[in-house]
């Protein structure tokens, strides 16, 4: 069988949506049809139906679809005048199609005129559609599609309009592709960070605090702090020093930086009864420019590298409920290098190496690709800075990609406000692509703030600013980590590294002693002495995905040992406490 290109898959998926609509027409002859495009992995169609659909309807519809596929109706294309189309769809009592035809007629007056509309007929179903479709319904593999979901959708996405019913489906070119996709979906659901975040007690939300404002529990905070320490220790090796700035600043700071214009109504304004007017910082860079500006700098002082992990605020559309992907307050690991032009290349290489170090330690580096994100050349007004600087930067990033074997792919229109960048995309355990780290060159911001240093000739010149985010925001990074590891974090990252379980109340004192020894050695230990059976506590610790469970009873107390169970392993091994502490400290250090 010939391999279908993505475009052919779109045609297959869209054609399947016609077949679904035909099946709906059979089930509800009075159904009114809205639109039915192809989407990622499948398709949907919106209907106005005499009753609310129930999940059982999907199976009936799937059966009817298989019959329509078997009947092998050709997709017959016909051209028709606006007047005829209007008359036909009015007669068929299809008000949504009538509205679409009227709109097309209107846009036809302003745009290039089309006198004819196309309609496609397959079996009894006729649709207003520009195509293309497969030649006939029989070309759709009958065992490679599935109707997946019913949901409400406003006509034209406008909540003032009528709520229609949307049926989603997925379609592939083979039964096996469908099977693999459904398996991946099931796995993704199991790994969903919202579900696991709750089960593992990592973060929560409160109506009183507000949506889009996650609260991190002790375990979630431990996870973030452990990551922070790791990132900071890697960055220190490359000469970064930590700074700290307040969460707000005068609006002027962000007007000069260009962020006020860029973020517009996404900025949070803070006022007080004492006539204060501040803006919550949407990014960290402008504050850091002012630390640089606090002293006279000489060419010999550069590069100056600052790093900071702090909250920043943007009123983004949140959409997602109970998750960390889009929130108002994000903790951003941000860093900048203020350097001379002749140092830029080395600074960027430094930052790429930091990214490589961190992502290697998490085991993600092997599965990545790099985007060389350049300007949208057709729309220079979207950016700040001088064209010659942009040209220099883009050329330099290309050279770095070549010299470091990054094989960066050029992506037009993906640059930042002030300069081109290297973006790193990673694939998690189930193949979901996530873009997190970024390195950006910026000639414009230092000039806007009048930053300078004294060069070898004694002249005042602006430095270059290189921005880097190693893990973007901690919130988004947590999503990646939770879903990638399905909550079973590596030992060094686990919020609880060992759980200590006394076999009965009698051994609680010994268990407590053991816990104290672990904590004193810097290991995150937790005593599980709830009044439940040992079996139940073991199952609970397993659900919490704690790397090591230490069971203690009479024998262990007698020889100062613990019975160790590793995560995912039912076997138990008795080891002396001291020896096990040594072993586990070694594993944490090696980031096993």
Residue 461 C-beta: closest distance to Zn ion, Å:
21
Using CB under 5 A as the binding rule, the residues of this chain from 324 to 343 that contact Zn ion are: none
Site mask, Zn ion, residues 420-459, x = CB under 5 A?
----------------------------------------
Give the nearer residue to Zn ion in terms of CB position, either 465 or 491.
465
467 is a site residue for Zn ion (CB under 5 A): yes
For residues 231 and 470, is the Cβ–Cβ distance under 8 A?
yes
Burial of 227 from C-beta contacts in 10 A (0-12 / 13-18 / 19+): buried
Give the nearer residue to Zn ion in terms of CB position, either 197 or 472.
472
For residues 25 and 49, is the Cβ–Cβ distance under 8 A?
no
Segment interacting with Zn ion, rule: CB under 5 A, options 65-73, 225-233, 465-473, 474-482: 465-473
For residues 44 and 166, is the Cβ–Cβ distance under 8 A?
yes
Segment interacting with Zn ion, rule: CB under 5 A, options 279-287, 295-303, 315-323, 407-415: 279-287
Alpha carbon separation from 471 to 332, 333, 357, 436, 547 (Å, rounded): 8, 7, 12, 6, 24
Residue 120 C-beta: closest distance to Zn ion, Å:
5
* Structure token pair of residue 116: 């004819």
Residue 137 C-beta: closest distance to Zn ion, Å:
12
Alpha carbon separation from 216 to 16, 83, 171, 211 (Å, rounded): 44, 61, 39, 14
Give the nearer residue to Zn ion in terms of CB position, either 191 or 467.
467
Q: What is the dihedral of CA 67, 68, 71, 76, to 10 degrees?
A: 180
Using CB under 5 A as the binding rule, the residues of this chain from 117 to 136 that contact Zn ion are: 129
Segment interacting with Zn ion, rule: CB under 5 A, options 78-86, 90-98, 285-293, 480-488: 285-293
Gap between the Cα atoms of 517 and 578, Å rounded: 9
Backbone angle region of 300, left / alpha / beta, with phi > 0 → left and psi within -120 to 50 → alpha: alpha
Residue 469 C-beta: closest distance to Zn ion, Å:
8
285 is a site residue for Zn ion (CB under 5 A): yes
Segment interacting with Zn ion, rule: CB under 5 A, options 64-72, 106-114, 168-176, 461-469: 461-469
Residue 335 C-beta: closest distance to Zn ion, Å:
8
Gap between the Cα atoms of 172 and 180, Å rounded: 10
Q: How many residues in the shown chain lie near Zn ion by CB under 5 A?
A: 3
Gap between the Cα atoms of 311 and 281, Å rounded: 8
3-state secondary structure of 143: coil
Segment interacting with Zn ion, rule: CB under 5 A, options 56-64, 107-115, 293-301, 464-472: 464-472
Q: Which residues pair with 550 in a beta bridge?
A: 500, 564
Give the nearer residue to Zn ion in terms of CB position, either 351 or 498.
351
Gap between the Cα atoms of 556 and 507, Å rounded: 9
* Structure token pair of residue 551: 């069971």
CA 514 to chain centre: 40
368 is a site residue for Zn ion (CB under 5 A): no
The closest of 368, 356, 358, 362 to 433, measured between CA atoms, is 368
Give the nearer residue to Zn ion in terms of CB position, either 13 or 467.
467
Give the nearer residue to Zn ion in terms of CB position, either 4 or 221.
4
Gap between the Cα atoms of 39 and 49, Å rounded: 22
For residues 527 and 512, is the Cβ–Cβ distance under 8 A?
yes
Give the nearer residue to Zn ion in terms of CB position, either 338 or 507.
338
Residue 439 C-beta: closest distance to Zn ion, Å:
10
Gap between the Cα atoms of 172 and 42, Å rounded: 8
Segment interacting with Zn ion, rule: CB under 5 A, options 252-260, 283-291, 397-405, 556-564: 283-291
Residue 409 C-beta: closest distance to Zn ion, Å:
23
Gap between the Cα atoms of 567 and 547, Å rounded: 5
Gap between the Cα atoms of 137 and 123, Å rounded: 9
Give the nearer residue to Zn ion in terms of CB position, either 239 or 363.
239
Residue 17 C-beta: closest distance to Zn ion, Å:
7
Residue 334 C-beta: closest distance to Zn ion, Å:
6
Residue 129 C-beta: closest distance to Zn ion, Å:
3
CA 88 to chain centre: 46
Using CB under 5 A as the binding rule, the residues of this chain from 44 to 83 that contact Zn ion are: none
Give the nearer residue to Zn ion in terms of CB position, either 129 or 552.
129
Segment interacting with Zn ion, rule: CB under 5 A, options 49-57, 192-200, 280-288, 404-412: 280-288
Residue 356 C-beta: closest distance to Zn ion, Å:
20
The residue ranges that bind Zn ion (CB under 5 A) are 129, 285, 467
């Amino acid at each position: 069988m010939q391999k279908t290109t993505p475009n052919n898959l779109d045609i297959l998926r869209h054609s399947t949506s016609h077949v679904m609509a035909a099946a709906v027409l059979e089930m509800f002859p009075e159904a009114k049809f809205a639109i039915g495009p192809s989407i990622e992995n499948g398709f949907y169609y919106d209907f106005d139906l005499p009753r609310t659909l129930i999940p059982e309807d999907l199976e009936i519809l799937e059966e009817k679809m298989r019959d329509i596929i078997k009947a092998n109706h050709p997709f017959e294309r016909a051209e028709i005048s606006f007047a005829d189309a209007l008359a036909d769809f009015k007669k068929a009592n299809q008000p949504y199609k009538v509205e679409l035809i009227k709109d097309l007629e209107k846009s036809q007056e302003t745009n290039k005129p089309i006198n004819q509309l196309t309609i496609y007929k397959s079996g009894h179903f006729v649709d207003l559609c520009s195509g293309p479709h497969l030649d006939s319904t029989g070309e759709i593999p009958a065992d490679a599609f599935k109707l997946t979901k019913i949901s409400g959708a406003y006509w034209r996405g406008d909540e003032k309009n009528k709520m229609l019913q949307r049926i989603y489906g997925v379609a592939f070119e083979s039964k096996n592709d469908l099977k693999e996709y459904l398996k991946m979906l099931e796995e993704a659901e199991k790994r969903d960070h919202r579900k696991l975040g709750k089960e593992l007690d990592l973060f929560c939300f409160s109506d009183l605090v507000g949506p889009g404002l996650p609260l991190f529990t002790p375990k979630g905070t431990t996870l973030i702090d452990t990551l922070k320490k790791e990132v900071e220790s890697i960055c220190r090796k490359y000469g970064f020093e930590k700074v700290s700035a307040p969460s707000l600043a005068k609006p002027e700071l962000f007007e000069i930086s260009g962020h006020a214009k860029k973020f517009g109504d996404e900025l949070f304004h803070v006022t007080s009864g004492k006539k204060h007017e501040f803006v919550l910082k949407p990014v960290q860079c402008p504050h850091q420019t002012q630390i640089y500006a606090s002293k006279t700098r000489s060419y010999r002082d550069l590069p100056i590298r600052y790093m900071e992990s702090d909250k920043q605020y943007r009123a983004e559309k949140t959409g997602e409920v109970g998750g960390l992907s889009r929130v108002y307050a994000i903790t951003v690991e941000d860093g900048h290098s203020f350097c001379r032009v002749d140092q830029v290349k080395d600074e960027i290489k430094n930052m790429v190496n930091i990214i490589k170090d961190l992502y290697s330690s998490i085991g993600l580096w092997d599965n990545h690709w790099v985007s060389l994100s350049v300007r949208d050349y057709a729309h220079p007004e979207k950016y700040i800075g001088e064209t010659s600087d942009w040209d220099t930067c883009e050329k330099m990033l290309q050279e770095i990609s070549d010299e470091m074997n990054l094989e960066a792919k050029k992506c037009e229109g993906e640059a930042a406000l002030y300069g081109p960048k290297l973006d790193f995309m990673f694939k998690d355990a189930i193949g979901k692509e996530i873009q997190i780290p970024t390195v950006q060159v910026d000639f414009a911001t230092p000039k806007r703030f009048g930053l300078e240093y004294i060069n070898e000739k004694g002249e005042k010149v602006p430095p270059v600013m290189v921005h880097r985010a190693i893990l973007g925001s901690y919130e988004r990074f947590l999503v990646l980590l939770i879903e990638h590891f399905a909550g079973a974090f590596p030992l060094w990252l686990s919020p609880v590294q060992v759980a200590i379980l006394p076999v009965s109340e009698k051994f609680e004192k010994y268990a407590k002693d053991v816990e104290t020894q672990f904590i004193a050695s810097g290991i995150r230990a937790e005593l599980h002495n709830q009044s439940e059976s040992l079996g139940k506590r073991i199952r609970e610790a397993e659900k919490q995905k704690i790397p090591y469970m230490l069971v203690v009873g009479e024998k262990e107390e007698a020889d100062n040992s613990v019975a160790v169970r590793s995560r995912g392993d039912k076997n138990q091994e008795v080891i002396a406490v001291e020896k096990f502490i040594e072993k586990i400290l070694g594993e944490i250090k090696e980031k096993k």
